[in-house]
Amino acid sequence: MTSATAVAAVVLLVILSTAATPSLAQNSPQDFVGLHNAARAVEGVGEVVWDDAVAAYAESYAATRRGDCQLIHSGSFEAAGYGENLFGGGGDGWSAADAVNMWVGEKDVYDYDSNSCIGSWDSCVHYTQVMWSRTTAIGCARVVCDNDGGVFITCNYNPSGNFQGERPFERGLTLSA
């Protein structure tokens, strides 16, 4: 093997190993946006972008929950007109993917035809907020809590969603032959 071939083989190995290794961050703005947009794409809902002002609101509120990790809403709608989803869990390993996947998992209890949650009235409101078609920007924050090492994650949505009587999105029409 020539030295040029050996160098090419090493470079290829590094590229392949990097591509196969998941991101260690898993809580970056791109992670939150990508997970939201992947879920929204399933129903043909437009993408959201990261908004630094919305993120600053989320970060400020998450910092206030660091001491107790309680899933108490911030009042973001009244304060800033933002929607809000919260997630919390014991241990510090919870990530953006865990939070967004839990919220999107509520799709199973959302009935599109009746535009309502199956079971309790609020059993799918995290999902509908993620999917709210008029929401165009998000900002999220994650903190490890002081009290038990748990995690508190919040995402805020601009503009807010979940308005009574309104659908989070409209399904496309299917044309028959």
**Closest to 99 measured CA to CA, from 87, 83, 84:** 87
137-144, strands of its sheet edge to edge: 49-50, 137-144, 151-158, 83-89
Band (21; pLDDT cuts 50, 70, 90): very low
Domain limits, the chain: 29-158
pLDDT digits (tens, 9 = 90+) for 115-137: 999 999 999 999 999 999 999 99
Band (13; pLDDT cuts 50, 70, 90): very low
What is the SS3 assignment for 88?
Answer: strand
What is the SS3 assignment for 106?
Answer: helix
Given this model, what pLDDT does residue 40 score? 98
pLDDT digits (tens, 9 = 90+) for 76-113: 999 999 999 999 988 889 999 999 999 999 999 999 99
CATH label, 29-158, candidates 3.30.870.10, 3.20.20.70, 3.40.33.10, 3.40.50.1370: 3.40.33.10
This prediction has a pTM of: 0.82
